[in-house]
Chain A
Amino acid sequence: MVAIARKTKLSTGASLPVLLGIVAACIFLLVGSLSSTIFAQQTVAGLSQGAIFASLALALVLIYRATEVINFAQGELAMATTYIAYQLTLWGLGYWLAFFLTLVISFVIGLAVYGVLIRPVQHRSVIALVIITVGLFILIDGLVTWKWGADLKFMPAPFGNQVYHAGGVSFSRQDIGVLLVSILSVILLWILFQFTKLGLAMRAAALRPAAASLVGVRVDWMLAVGWGLAATLGAVAGLMTEPYVFLQPSMMQAVLLYAFAAAVLGGLESPAGSVIGGLAIGVFLNLIGQYVGFATSELRLPIAFAVLLVILLFKPTGLFGRRQVRRV
């Protein structure tokens, strides 16, 4: 039996060497950015892509903490909600109105997915849950292709195409905007969890379902809200991915893999870890693509996979996870 104790504390759980490593990495990036403009540009671009990975990774972690499910359909849900936003803009809504409306819609979709698909099988095997989300993956893919077709679609650019120049370094407004929106949504979510009653109830429901229900928390509802929030976060990730790869049914599949790698790097149960993991992977992939000739774009996915595998093998709990205590 896995002891329950592993999920009771909410502190980041990072050990000193890990924190030192992160500080060292930050200093490295800062020094590099100051000494080379290309390095600085790649770092900022990597951070903005990493922020997308981070929001999807955080969505995965939210769901994993609440219901111990790895949602393989998370990326496809994000893709589908991005198409909904696209449809809203086609109907004449402005981009940002469509954006916020989509967040509400995806919250409802997340609730529904939990209530209809996950709750009935929640206490069955890992394999059953994985296959249900895989089925959802295929179903969403099919529905989107049926409704909107497989060809590329284009949405209005949310941040315009301007490029800023600062000391010889050019930053695209899009990169900055994506970074800000993703980080802002993560911070909002953190505030919700840390400082509101709803957040407290959700944490209680995820950590100690039985005890939470005894003190009057509606556990099922809280878990459903967790799924809803994850879908909302996924929608942010999808909408922020769209300016880079445009709308297509496969747009989130690679992002999902990077998000998996990010979540595992952070320790699968640690929200803070998943965000840092996402940023780290985004920057790492961009820098290695720039400076290592062998790492061409075809190898981005295999490299992310290698990162994931190395972490799983040598530090399965990730940077911020706690060791799982096994009791026999």
Chain B
Amino acid sequence: MTRGLATRLGAIAVVAGLVVLLGATMTDYHRGLGAHVAIYFIAILGLNILIGYTGQISIGHGAFMAIGGYTTALMSNYHHTNLIATLPLAAAISFVCGIAVGIPALRLSGVYLALATFALAVSVPQLPLKWSKWTGGSNGIRTHTTPTNTWIYTVSWICAGLAFVAAWLLLRGRAGRAFRSIRDSELAAASSGVSLPIYKTLAFGVSAAFAGVAGALFVLVTNGYAQPNEFGVTLSLEILIGAAVAGLGSLYGTIAGALFVGLVPQISTSVPLIGTGHGQDVVFGFIVILIMLALPNGVAGLLGRLDSRFKSAIKSHSAAS
């Protein structure tokens, strides 16, 4: 256990060091990309708490990101609230919305929950269009001040770090055990005294709060604009894919998922065969399918497999000598 903990702390230190180092040396454009990775990291972390640890599927987390994002944009636009101050507010409002979705979700599971949350992802971006007087309709609404890429990079990664610590603390304790027991067997969890309604809605709320913060930062990184298109179904699907690539039920894989979702579409804008512009979706979709076929447990599962193979190799080696 201590060896595992040491490697994990080491890995965290390496990632944190890289983030600081890259932040100091990268160009402004790449800092924007880096901020995107941090934002996906937060959202995927939140979704992983829900899907990976509690076993409830959601294809609608883009909706919670939209709620967080619009909170920030509206507060900043109408009340000139400090941007940092809008982040906890975005988290709180998304948390409440998450609870509100989580309560009806208690009655659903599996494909039915997937369908309901998918519908959520499709319909929430329509709401700003309906009330366009306040939200600017399809043109979107802009924050009062527009932060620089350096600012957003710093803030996003600090938030990502805080989110990671929060998720770790939550999952290692009582709530985390309750979540995992619900995932493994609802019946067993309930008969051991775990309250299903409380912990399942809690998981939804927490996970939505993460998504809300991610959404708020997402608005800031797109020049402070909150637009319905930006929060479309694709965003929800991207986060889901990120969680699958990371490996469900693994906090440490999250960074791989975030890198995948944040960077692969950007890198693959120009593919030799397909040319510029439309290559990203082809490559992205193709890789997603390949990963699901080849790596059922995502990157974290792959690392775990390699690790155990490495250990058994050492064991047989020492046994031979």
Contacts and interface: CB of A to CB of B under 8 A. Distances in A.
B307 interface: no
Interface stretch (B115-123, B192-200, B217-225): B115-123
Contact of B281 (A68, A142, A254, A316): A142
B4 interface: no
B84 interface: no
Given A126-B110, A131-B241, A138-B237, A302 B292 contact: no
Nearest to A131: B244
B289 A146 contact: no
Q: Tell me the dominant secondary structure on chain B's binding face.
A: helix
Interface in B256-307: 274-275, 278-286, 288-289, 292-293, 296
A260 B115 contact: yes
A266 to B, nearest CB: 13
A257 B289 contact: no
A119 B27 CA distance: 45
Nearest to B113: A312
A88 interface: no
A308 B286 CA distance: 31
A313 B244 contact: no
Contact of A316 (B112, B240, B274, B293): B112
A172 interface: no
Most B C-beta atoms less than 10 A away, residue of A64, A121, A313: A313
B274 A134 contact: no
B57 interface: yes
B292 A264 contact: no
Most A C-beta atoms less than 10 A away, residue of B108, B116, B124: B116
Interface residues of B, number: 46
A242 B159 CA distance: 45
Interface in A272-309: 296, 298-299, 301-302, 304-305, 308-309
A137 B122 contact: no
A138 B122 contact: no
Given A126-B57, A126-B110, A145-B281, A132 B292 contact: yes
Interface residues of A, number: 46
A309 B274 contact: no
A214 B71 CA distance: 59
A299 B274 CA distance: 37
A70 B187 CA distance: 25
A135 B293 CA distance: 11
Given A127-B244, A131-B241, A312-B116, A141 B285 contact: yes
A316 B105 CA distance: 12
Contact of B248 (A127, A132, A135): A127
A130 interface: yes
B285 A140 contact: yes
21 contacts: A68-B111, A72-B59, A121-B293, A121-B296, A126-B111, A127-B244, A128-B244, A130-B111, A131-B241, A131-B288, A132-B289, A136-B289, A142-B279, A142-B282, A145-B281, A146-B282, A257-B123, A268-B112, A301-B122, A312-B104, A312-B107
Interface of B: 51, 57, 59, 104, 107-108, 110-112, 114-116, 118-120, 122-124, 126-127, 129-130, 187, 233-234, 237, 240-241, 244, 248, 274-275, 278-286, 288-289, 292-293, 296
